[in-house]
Amino acid sequence: MSRLNVTDSREMSAADAPAADIGARIELDSVAQVFMHGTEPVTALWDFSLSIPAGQFVSLVGPSGCGKTTVLGLLSGLVAASDGRVLVDGKQVTSPRRDVSYMFARDCLMPWRSVRKNVEFGMQARGVGKSERRAVADEWLERVGLGAYGNSQISKLSQGMRQRVAIARTLALTPRLILMDEPFAALDAQTRAFQQEHFTRLWEKLGCTVVFVTHDLTEAVRLSDRVVLMGSRPGRVLEDVQIDLPRPRRLADDLSDAKFVEYHTYLATRLAKEVHANARSAGGADEDGE
Amino acid sequence: MAISMTMRGTAQAPEPRATLEQRTLLSLKKRRRLTAGQVWTLRVASLVVVLGAWQLLVTFGVADELLVSKPSAIGAALFDYLVGGSIYVDILATTVAALLGLTIGTVLGIAIGVVLAKTPIFYRAVSPYVTILNAMPRPALAPIFLVWFGLGIESKVFVSMSIVVFILLLSTIAGIEAVDPDIGNLASSLAISPWRRFVMIELPTSLPFIVAALRLASVYAVLGVIVTEMVASYQGLGQQLVIATANFRMDRAFAVIFIAACIAVLLSGIVSLLERWLRRRWYQ
């Protein structure tokens, strides 16, 4: 019950400006990350520094293999940095934190659990009691528009609905930092646009910090306060652009907005240059995955 | 929606949607009934053809009744057994031994499978032994177990169990290894405890594997018991089979085999019930 009250009051205050304690501060300080690709050591990140203030929505974009997902891995505590410091709220990340929620590209729903039990999964994994779990799950299902589907089987849902269940599961943990790895990439164009808009509405009420990895520049500019363009091999920051579009964002009219077009064109040109440079340096044969 | 509404307004309105839907449903039901009828006709017909051909071949002297018996004689032998009453001791002995072998083998197999799957280094260390033990022809153990444990129920249960345990063990390991890596990562990002990971993810994931293994094992459990009984035993259908063939009573031999098959079907049925219960318990 106390949880629900917290979220309610949060909605009120978030209407004007999100309070600082709702989002986590992030500091990546000359981080290097080396992993083994078979027997070949690969430097995914080198001298990578990035600082994100509390409550900012930041997108990481860049060509395949630029280490975007590695940054999420470091922040989640699933991967330890080879060198440098990774700080969340000034504390070095050594293991998964309770106030961080990771949302993967695939929805990771469990077919043996009902919709409600899937939303409860994260809370159950963290030992939240049954009745509280259920109340929070039902409230979030209501918010993502799936209030009537609590008892449904996962296999009965459409892709878009599945993704909303995954969002409910992520947000039900009341995270101060959300890590999202191309969460809308698997959806068809209409569904993706709808989910983006839906998530933006939810987030604008919450105001927690988001680090959002995507291939899609349109998506990055639409959703974010800031877009960080990364270059590959090794991963580093190429461009760091503040997106000064007004909030709340109504995504439907974004595409024709002159400012939106300007941001998009600038980033697209810069990204294309980087991709071409990579292709030349690799003799045009560099087409492998991340 | 909009189209059907404008249509309704016009003079030559087609069939209303409700009756159209009703008609579609009825035609589907009819088609289903027809299919079911065909399936059952074929099922009965094929049985009649095979049994009839067998009966006729023997009656007209093409096949030797002494060697292959005939359906009518087998039916009579089966009737004699079931009325005579002494066969029930053997049925009970075989059924109890198979159930015990299946149960103990299942519990052990799952337990060892979980331990091996959760300790990769230990699993790698012992996997050659697991392979060799599993490669042993288990019926060949029957004479050895009979020397060790005697002609009572123990030997049969051990042989039966020695087959079941590996079926369950290998399937349990396969099931736990089948956990979706993304779901595994999601769990790791939540700092889930090993016990919760097992109960919330690994067990539900491996359940279909375990149930499939149980179905297979329920047939093999009966096989292990029958083979042991055939080598030597005080009671059991395997022993009855040996007696029947030794006396050239092929009618009785087939009747015994039929009863043994029924026991295996019964065990499969129990597994199906268990499966349904587990699905209700876990899949919600």
For A41-92, the pLDDT digits (tens) are: 888 888 889 999 999 999 999 888 788 889 999 999 999 889 999 989 888 8
Cα separation, A219 vs A64, in Å, equals: 16
Parts of chain B with a pLDDT under 50: 1-2, 4-5
Whole-angstrom distance, CA of residue B189 vs CA of residue A121: 12
Domain check: are A116 and A198 in the same one? Answer: no
The reported pLDDT for the residue numbered B51 is 95
Q: Are residues A11 and A69 in the same domain?
A: yes
| A119 and A91 within one domain | no
Residue A17 lies in a domain: yes
Question: What is the pTM (predicted TM-score) of this model?
Answer: 0.78
Mean pLDDT, rounded, for A92-110: 89
Q: Is the CB of residue A134 less than 8 Å away from at least one CB of chain B? A: no
* Residue in chain B lying closest to A73 (CA): B189
Residues A49 and A142 reside in one and the same domain: no
Last residue of some domain: A173, A197, A217? A173
pLDDT of residue B284: 55
- Report if residue A195 sits inside a domain: yes
> Same domain for A78 and A197?
yes
| Two tokens, residue B107 | 């519990």
- A145 is a domain residue: yes
Nearest by CB: A76 against B183, B189, B196: B189
Amino acid A279: pLDDT: 77
How confident is residue A10, by pLDDT bands cut at 50, 70 and 90? Answer: very low
CB contact under 8 A, B189 and A102: yes
Which of A173, A200, A224 is at the close of a domain? A173
- Domain final position from A155, A173, A191: A173
Distance set, CA A37 to CA A34, A44, A82, A278, B140 (Å)? 9, 10, 15, 19, 48
| Residue of chain B nearest A99, judged by CA positions | B190
Q: Left, alpha or beta for B191 (phi > 0: left; psi -120 to 50: alpha)? A: left
pLDDT of residue B282: 67
The share of chain A scoring above pLDDT 70, in percent, equals 88
Tens-digit pLDDT profile for residues B161-198? 999 999 999 999 999 999 999 999 999 999 899 999 99
Q: Rounded to whole angstroms, what are the CA distances from B208 to A44, A54, B102, B172, B282?
A: 39, 45, 18, 10, 11
pLDDT score of A17 more than 80: no
Domain that holds residue A155: 110-173
- Integer angstrom CA distances of residue A114 from A119, A165, B3, B197, B279: 9, 10, 37, 18, 12
Structure confidence by residue, pLDDT tens digits, A218-273: 899 989 999 999 987 788 888 898 988 888 887 666 667 888 888 989 999 998 88
Residues A181 and A266 in one domain: yes
The predicted-structure confidence for A150-159, as pLDDT tens digits, reads as follows 889 898 899 8
Q: Which residues in chain B touch residue A100, judged by CB atoms under 8 angstroms apart?
A: 189
Do residues A91 and A181 both lie within one domain? Answer: yes
Q: Which residues of B touch A124 (CB under 8 A)?
A: 196, 200
Which of A121, A123, A153, A174 is the best residue to mutate to test the B interface, defined by the most B CB atoms within 10 Å of its own CB? Answer: A121
**Spatial contact of A98 and A124, defined as CB atoms under 8 Å apart:** no
| Interface contacts A/B by beta carbons within 8 Å | 54
DSSP string, A88-151: ETTEE--S--TTEEEE-SS----TTSBHHHHHHHHHHHTT--HHHHHHHHHHHHHHTT-GGGTT
Tell me if chain A has a CB within 8 Å of the CB of B284: yes
Q: Is the residue at A229 inside a domain?
A: yes
| pLDDT score at A231 | 85
A104 is a domain residue: no
Is B282 an interface residue toward A (CB < 8 Å)?
yes
Q: CA–CA distance from A143 to each of A165, A169, A199, B119, B203 (Å)?
A: 10, 12, 11, 42, 31
Query: Which positions in chain A touch B201 (Cβ < 8 Å)?
Result: 110
Residues of A in contact with B278 (CB under 8 A): none
Contact status of A114 with chain B (Cβ, < 8 Å): yes
| CB contact (8 A) between residue B196 and residue A124 | yes
Q: Give the pLDDT score at B19.
A: 87
Structure tokens at A86: 């990774």
Say yes or no: A184 and A56 in one domain.
Answer: yes
| Domain total in chain A | 2
Note whether A69 and A135 are same-domain residues.
Answer: no
Task: Categorize the per-residue pLDDT at A286 as very low, low, confident or very high, splitting at 50, 70 and 90.
Answer: very low
pLDDT (tens digit per residue) in A23-44:
889 999 999 999 888 888 888 8
Sign of the C-alpha dihedral computed for residues B128, B134, B138 and B140 taken in this order: negative
Q: Quick check: A8 pLDDT over 70?
A: no
What CA–CA distances, in Å, run from A69 to A61, A179, A182, A277, B23?
Answer: 10, 10, 9, 22, 54
Domain shared by A82 and A182, yes or no: yes
Check residue B10 and give its pLDDT. Answer: 54
pLDDT of residue B279: 77
Residue B208: closest CA among chain A residues belongs to which residue?
A: A112
Residue A14 has pLDDT above 80, yes or no: no
Contacts of A66 (CB under 8 A, 6+ apart): A230, A231, A232, A233, A235, A290
Residues A19, A93, single domain; the answer is: yes
Specify burial of residue B125 (Cβ count, 10 A radius: 0-12, 13-18, 19+). Answer: exposed
Same domain, A140 and A247: no
Residue A211 has pLDDT above 90, yes or no: yes
In the prediction, which pLDDT does A283 show?
Answer: 56
**Is A287 contained in some domain?**
no
Residue predicted with more confidence, B3 or A197: A197
